[in-house]
């Protein structure tokens, strides 16, 4: 690693098993990775190899069976419930394949939501949510509900929402998986732009090798371990 680089995410021998009745599924079997601040990382691998499990654990939505995740040097398995809530709220922004927007809220209100939960006053929330919708080029849709938006537009609202609390890391689980090529490209350009201009670390799971190649490095996962790491640029 070149000097001056700062590791923001480190996984040390991360394991995760699920017990289903008599059967144990070893979803992660000893994942090791180090990701630097501002890097864009793609995670590729066949369906069922553990990509979503890995992302959820890095984002503290799930616990590993053993091993460690260090976010900016702190071991999240040692964090209290209150600290974990803070991490989920402030350090991590999640983007899902199927957007996970709240259907009863408008685009603007969806973007406001994480700030509402973080206790930010209404006027500040609306101001920031407006700026974010402008950034994703959807201000004209601010009063639309998710079912009045296209898939690509929904995902751009979801990106604006993920950025609301200025997270250190953006985690995107197949963010273009449900989109046509053109909308997928728009979502990808937006993620790349945020990664560049805000120096936000981006970890993106994708099936699409054209998308994966936009990253600095590709982690190839196979059967719950990192099979290889490919340097792209």
Backbone torsions φ then ψ of 219, nearest 5 degrees: -95, 120
Rounded-to-5 percentages of helix, strand, coil across the chain: 35, 30, 35
Nearer to ligand ADP, 228 or 233 (CB): 228
Q: How far apart are CA 128 and CA 123, in angstroms?
A: 9
The CB-of-213 to ligand ADP minimum distance in angstroms stands at 19
The CB-of-85 to ligand ADP minimum distance in angstroms stands at 21
Task: From the list Mg ion, ligand ADP, none, pick the one residue 167 interacts with, judged by a Cβ distance below 5 to 8 Å according to partner type.
Answer: none
Q: Is 172 helix (H, G, I), strand (E, B) or coil?
A: strand
Give the CB-side neighbour count of residue 92, counting CA atoms within 13 A: 24
Could you tell me where the DSSP H helices lie in the chain? 51-58, 81-86, 107-117, 122-135, 151-163, 181-197, 209-212
Task: From the list ligand ADP, Mg ion, none, pick the one residue 128 interacts with, judged by a Cβ distance below 5 to 8 Å according to partner type.
Answer: none
The CB-of-48 to Mg ion minimum distance in angstroms stands at 8
- Site residues for ligand ADP, 156-215, by CB under 6 A, read none
Of 52, 106, 155, 201, the residue at the interface with Mg ion (CB under 5 A) is: 52
Q: How far apart are CA 86 and CA 101, in angstroms?
A: 21
- Site residues for ligand ADP, 5-64, by CB under 6 A, read 18, 20, 25, 27, 45, 47-53
The CB-of-53 to ligand ADP minimum distance in angstroms stands at 3
Kindly list the residues in this chain that would bind ligand ADP in the complex (CB under 6 A): 18, 20, 25, 27, 45, 47-53
């Amino acid at each position: 690693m070149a000097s001056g680089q700062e590791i923001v995410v480190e996984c040390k021998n991360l394991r995760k098993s699920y017990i289903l009745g008599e059967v144990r599924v070893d979803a992660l079997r000893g994942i090791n990775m180090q990701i630097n601040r501002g890097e864009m990382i793609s995670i590729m691998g066949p369906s069922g190899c553990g990509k979503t499990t890995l992302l959820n654990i890095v984002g503290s939505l799930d616990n590993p069976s053993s091993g460690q995740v260090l976010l900016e040097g702190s071991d999240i398995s040692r964090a209290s419930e209150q600290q974990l809530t803070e991490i989920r709220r402030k350090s991590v922004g999640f983007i899902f394949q199927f957007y996970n927007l709240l259907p009863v809220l408008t685009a603007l209100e969806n973007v406001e939501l994480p700030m509402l939960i973080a206790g930010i006053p209404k006027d500040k929330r609306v101001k920031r949510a407006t700026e974010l919708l402008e950034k994703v080029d959807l201000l004209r849709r601010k009063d639309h509900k998710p079912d009045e938006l296209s898939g690509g537009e929904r995902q751009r609202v979801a990106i604006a929402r993920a950025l609301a609390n200025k997270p250190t890391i953006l985690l995107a689980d197949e963010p273009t998986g449900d989109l046509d090529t053109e909308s997928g490209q728009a979502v990808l350009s937006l993620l790349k732009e945020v990664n560049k201009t805000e120096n936000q670390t981006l970890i993106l799971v994708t099936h699409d090798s054209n998308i994966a190649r936009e990253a600095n490095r590709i982690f190839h996962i196979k059967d719950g371990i990192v099979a290889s790491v490919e340097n792209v640029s």
